[in-house]
Amino acid sequence: MRVGVLALQGDVPEHLGAVTAADPTVTAVPVRDPVDLEPLDALFLPGGESTTMAKLLQLSGLWTPLTGVLSRGLPTLATCAGLILL
């Protein structure tokens, strides 16, 4: 199983490590570009500053692809600003 962690802001290494620590059979991958979304089985949207995250999503070209995978039902866990983005 591949779990993506939105890696635009926040404690990305800590979140990647937490996913792997919870289940060592899971591959945790940073999501920084639209192509990073396609091979995922689940997604984690961590905290940060929501206005900045929204700008970074637009600048990185992730906004539209992210809304696409979310609308198709990709299992997603969101905390703090990640939940605000939803």
Active site residues: 80
Residues 29, 3: contact at Cβ < 8 Å?
yes
Residues 46, 5: contact at Cβ < 8 Å?
yes
Q: Is 62 helix (H, G, I), strand (E, B) or coil?
A: coil
Q: Nearest to residue 8, comparing CAs of 78, 57, 64? A: 57
